[in-house]
């Protein structure tokens, strides 16, 4: 079974982003970039499938600027076999990424595609679902457990109020939630090995995909700030304040 795993290069989750003063976006100059944490979980899951001999090959894909090669090298260091970069400087929105991935899926014909449920930059939570739609594949989103057997994937999903289990027929798309696994640390020998693994670069035009953005960002602002309130000395004062000042308890 071939597994395709999709990774996005995003601002590192530890970075506190700043909105640019001209309101055109957030300041990304000299900011540390990393693999989207949910995608790291996706790569880990794909590599574990290979280690369990369920998968035969793990192919990592990324779409975006040339520096996404670094993100793909990380995926290769975790254990992916080869990588594909669909390179473009155009701002890519979820629908465009889904179309590019759909074209890669058509070429590679994987039986399973694993992606993070959302990227921590635009927080869209769309790409996996859109890819599944474009290829008419079933989807198991927000996965916290996954089992492959007899041409189906049984996936436990994190949903409002609890958990839900579905079976999807392969080829299928799975998007990862936080608790699917804990990604390993990449070791130096594996980083060295990853440098020698194949990385192919494609252009959106080669894949016949129009990546023109559909949504226009009018502006980006700071969120309304909450001000710190007061410190209360004890529980009795707290209860009195909640009752008489805030009037949120009776």
174 close to 140: Cβ distance less than 8 angstroms: yes
Question: Does 53 help bind other proteins (rule: CB under 8 A)?
Answer: no
Give CA separation, 49 vs 65, 89, 138, 147, 196, in Å.
29, 33, 19, 9, 22
Question: Does 166 help bind other proteins (rule: CB under 8 A)?
Answer: yes
Closest approach of other proteins to the CB of residue 21, in Å: 13
* Angle at the Cα of 219 from the Cα atoms of 89 and 204, rounded to 5 degrees: 20
Q: Which listed range, 42-50, 73-81, 82-90, 121-129, lies at the site for other proteins (CB under 8 A)? A: 121-129
- Cα 228 from chain centroid (whole Å): 33
Closest approach of other proteins to the CB of residue 48, in Å: 19
154 close to 164: Cβ distance less than 8 angstroms: no
Question: Does 179 help bind other proteins (rule: CB under 8 A)?
Answer: yes
194: its two tokens: 């990853």
**Selected binder of other proteins within 79, 94, 110, 204 (CB under 8 A):** 94
Site residues for other proteins, 203-242, by CB under 8 A, read: 214-223, 226, 228-232, 234-236, 238-239, 241-242
- Cα 128 from chain centroid (whole Å): 9
Site residues for other proteins, 122-161, by CB under 8 A, read: 122-127, 129-134, 136-142, 144, 154, 157-161
For residue 45, the SS3 value is helix
Q: Which listed range, 46-54, 88-96, 104-112, 183-191, lies at the site for other proteins (CB under 8 A)? A: 88-96
């Amino acid at each position: 079974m071939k597994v395709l795993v999709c990774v996005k290069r995003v601002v590192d989750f530890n970075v506190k982003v700043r909105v640019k003063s001209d309101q055109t976006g957030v300041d990304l100059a000299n900011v540390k970039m990393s693999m989207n944490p949910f995608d790291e979980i996706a790569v880990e899951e794909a590599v574990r499938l290979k280690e369990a001999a369920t998968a035969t090959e793990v192919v990592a894909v990324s779409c975006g600027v040339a520096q996404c090669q670094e993100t793909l090298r990380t995926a290769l260091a975790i254990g992916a076999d080869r990588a594909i970069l669909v390179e473009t400087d155009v701002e890519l929105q979820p629908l465009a990424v889904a179309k590019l991935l759909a074209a890669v899926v058509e070429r590679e014909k994987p039986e399973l595609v694993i992606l993070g449920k959302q990227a921590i930059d635009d927080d869209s939570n769309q790409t996996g679902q859109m890819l599944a739609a474009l290829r008419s594949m079933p989807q198991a989103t927000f996965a916290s457990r996954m089992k492959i057997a007899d041409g189906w994937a049984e996936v436990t999903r994190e949903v409002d109020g609890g958990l839900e289990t579905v079976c999807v027929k392969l080829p299928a798309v799975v998007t990862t939630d936080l608790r699917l696994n804990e990604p390993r640390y990449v070791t130096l020998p594996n980083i060295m090995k990853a440098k020698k693994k194949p990385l192919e670069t494609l252009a959106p035009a080669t894949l016949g995909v129009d990546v023109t953005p559909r949504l226009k960002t009018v502006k980006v602002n700071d969120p309304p700030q909450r001000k710190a309130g007061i410190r209360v000395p004890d529980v009795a004062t707290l209860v009195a304040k909640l009752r008489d000042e805030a009037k949120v308890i009776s």
